[in-house]
């Protein structure tokens, strides 16, 4: 492992399992009497508990957002943006990253034991909405002794949580940072999610979601679901640049019978297989459904301006030019509604050919905008802390 990569890293980290021993009523009506959350934190909470950032992960994210696990060479999924001197500067902020309920990295979800039955939840895990994640995060916040987030930040589904926070708990966050997100999914977006779910459900090993009881995994279906998703997270340009029509094996020569395999095929198969051995199929179904359900303004007479008028925090909205799954247009809708609602908002459309995945990857302009915004957030609470100390 190169040491350079670890420069400005939060270093070796470990996760903690936190028991939330309070009932959580889900949007579907189901009550979880208690639940567990896998949590990582980076940086130090300041004396007046005012420097905390909540990271909201997206479909396949988890609590390991930054730093390295002992003996692991791969950093957390948002390591480019979290660390000393990085946009989410751990010298100034205390950063909280968790795996939300319903996912499959140790927090309560389809792969954990249902205390009622003593068996894994599997397909019986209740349906979730983005607001359920916000409610669970709110309970975690109380347990950590944080009264107000300096910022709630997320990309994609994470951005939906950041927006929901602003409406549900307007006094509990100072800034909402919404990256590559949308107030609701388009029909095309829902369509892609349904194809992914169908791929999983068509796997003979799926057993109506009770595959763990059958000691099997619908790996084939989940890999297929991920391959479809993966294509939509990249841009045509990027795929062209990265893979083009390069062959991995075989030849176009006439008279040769060996089958050809394009690089893109091999890459996608590899990504699908890797994902299907690390993610849970029920979680994938649950969380894609959650994305489909999300509609920021549904309970506000479908009026996004009316919805955002409940918010009290400031907003930063960021999109990426080649993202067609959560296109810049969707982010502009968020921005326009926020302006009409009279909220403080800045919007940047970052030039990138990396598609939807751009929000996870290094990009100097994105780093600068996010860094400048958060630096000002930190200036504010640091000045307030100083004032309070006097």
* Residues forming the site for other proteins (CB under 8 A): 316, 332, 335-336, 339-340, 342, 344-349, 351, 365, 368-369, 372-373, 375-376
Q: Decide whether 195 or 340 has the Cβ nearer to other proteins.
A: 340
Q: Which of 57, 97, 356, 357 is catalytic?
A: 356
Looking at beta carbons only, is 132 or 314 nearer to other proteins? 314
Comparing CB distances to other proteins, the nearer of 302 and 375 is 375
Cβ proximity to other proteins, 139 vs 313, nearer residue: 313
Least spacing, CB of residue 22 vs other proteins, in Å? 37
213 is catalytic: no
**32 vs 348 by CB, closer to other proteins:** 348
- Out of 80, 323, 352, 357, pick the active-site residue: 323
- Find the shortest distance in angstroms from Cβ 334 to other proteins: 11
Cβ at position 362, least distance to other proteins in Å: 16
CA distance 59 to 286: 10
Is 156 noted as a catalytic residue in this protein? yes
Closest separation between CB of residue 150 and other proteins, Å?
A: 14
Choose the catalytic residue: 136, 156, 327, 331. Answer: 156
Q: Minimum distance between the CB of residue 315 and other proteins, rounded to whole angstroms?
A: 9
Between 246 and 379, name the residue whose CB sits nearer to other proteins.
379
Output the smallest distance, CB 155 to other proteins, in A: 17
Q: What does the alpha-carbon distance between residue 263 and residue 351 come to, in Å, rounded to a whole number?
A: 26
249 is catalytic: no
Residue numbers annotated as active site: 156, 323, 356
């Amino acid at each position: 492992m190169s040491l350079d990569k670890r420069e400005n890293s939060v270093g070796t980290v470990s996760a903690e399992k936190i028991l939330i021993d309070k009932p959580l009523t889900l949007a579907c009506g189901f009550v979880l009497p208690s639940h567990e959350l896998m949590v990582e934190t980076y940086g130090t909470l300041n004396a007046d508990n005012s420097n905390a950032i909540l990271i909201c992960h997206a479909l396949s994210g988890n609590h390991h957002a930054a730093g390295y696990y002992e003996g692991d060479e791969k950093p957390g999924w948002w390591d480019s943006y979290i660390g000393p001197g990085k946009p989410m500067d751990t010298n100034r902020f205390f950063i909280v990253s968790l795996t939300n309920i319903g996912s499959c990295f140790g927090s309560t979800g389809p792969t954990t034991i249902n205390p009622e039955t003593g068996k894994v939840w599997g397909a019986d895990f209740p349906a979730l909405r983005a607001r359920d994640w916000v409610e669970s995060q709110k309970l975690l916040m109380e347990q950590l002794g944080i009264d107000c987030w300096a910022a709630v930040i997320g990309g994609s589904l994470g951005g939906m949580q950041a927006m929901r926070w602003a409406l549900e708990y307007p006094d509990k966050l100072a800034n909402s940072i919404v990256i590559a997100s949308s107030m609701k999914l388009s029909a095309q977006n829902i369509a892609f999610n349904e194809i992914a779910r169908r791929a999983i459900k068509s796997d003979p090993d799926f057993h109506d979601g009770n595959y763990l009881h059958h000691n099997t995994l619908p790996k084939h279906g989940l890999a297929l679901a991920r391959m479809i998703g993966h294509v939509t997270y990249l841009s045509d340009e990027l795929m062209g640049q990265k893979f083009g029509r390069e062959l991995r094996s075989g030849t176009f020569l006439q008279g040769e019978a060996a089958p050809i395999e394009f690089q893109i095929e091999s890459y996608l198969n590899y990504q699908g297989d890797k994902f299907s051995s690390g993610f849970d199929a029920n979680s994938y179904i649950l969380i894609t459904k959650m994305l489909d359900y999300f509609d920021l303004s549904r309970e506000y007479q479908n009026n996004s301006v009316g919805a955002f008028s409940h918010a009290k925090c400031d907003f930063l909205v960021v999109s990426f030019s080649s993202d067609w799954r959560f296109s810049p247009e969707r982010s502009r809708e968020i921005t326009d509604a926020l302006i009409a609602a009279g909220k403080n908002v800045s919007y940047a459309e970052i030039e990138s050919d990396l598609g939807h995945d751009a929000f996870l990857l290094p990009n100097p302009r994105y780093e600068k905008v996010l860094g400048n915004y958060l630096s000002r957030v930190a200036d504010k609470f640091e000045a307030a802390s100083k004032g309070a100390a006097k």
